[in-house]
Amino acid sequence: MELAKAATFIVAIAMIAGVAPGQESGIRVRSIRVLATDPEAIARFYEKAFGMSETRRPVNSATFKEIVINSGSTADKAKAATTIPIVIATRGKTAAADAMASLILEVPDLDKAIDAVKANGGTLMRPPAKSGEGLSYAFVKDPDGNQIELLLASK
């Protein structure tokens, strides 16, 4: 049931994002984040239950992991897949399951996307910053409080 609700929300946000002024083209769902207290175990679950494979680990420290998986019975097939990947990230044992954004949108202009969020009743949660991989990102909330991570599209 929770998965169905999340999928409905993601489709609605993607549709709304697609019609934001000045960004009609270029916005795409980049990935879906699943938080897990044991990312390794949850990655194995998705791999075995849905025939997915790991494609990379952008973060792999003792305290935080991000395991990217996608459709495909092998890593090569998953890397070549055109489907939207799942990012399985560490969730602290006492943190709520919704402690981090589940929807990650890639946008052509980070500042315009943030302005569009604010103009339509959303809020800026964390201002633009750069990741360890050099990606520019920001966190916003929709009017209902759902977190969305915005990533600047690669040029």
pLDDT tens digits, residue range 22-54?
Answer: 456 588 999 999 988 899 999 998 899 888 999
Question: Which alpha helices (DSSP H) does the chain contain, by range?
Answer: 2-18, 39-50, 75-80, 110-119
Judged by DSSP in three states, 139 sits in: strand
Distance CA 133, CA 66 (A): 13
**% helix, strand, coil for the chain, step of 5:** 30, 35, 35
Looking at this protein, which amino acid is placed at residue 47? E
Alpha-carbon span 132 to 78, nearest angstrom: 23
Which tens digit of pLDDT belongs to each residue from 102-145?
889 999 999 999 999 999 989 999 999 998 888 999 999 988 78
Tens-digit pLDDT profile for residues 50-108 = 889 999 999 999 999 999 999 999 999 999 999 999 999 998 888 887 788 888 999 99
DSSP state of 112: H
Q: What is the DSSP letter of 85?
A: P
Structural domains of the chain ordered from first start: 2-152 (3.10.180.10)
pTM comes to 0.69
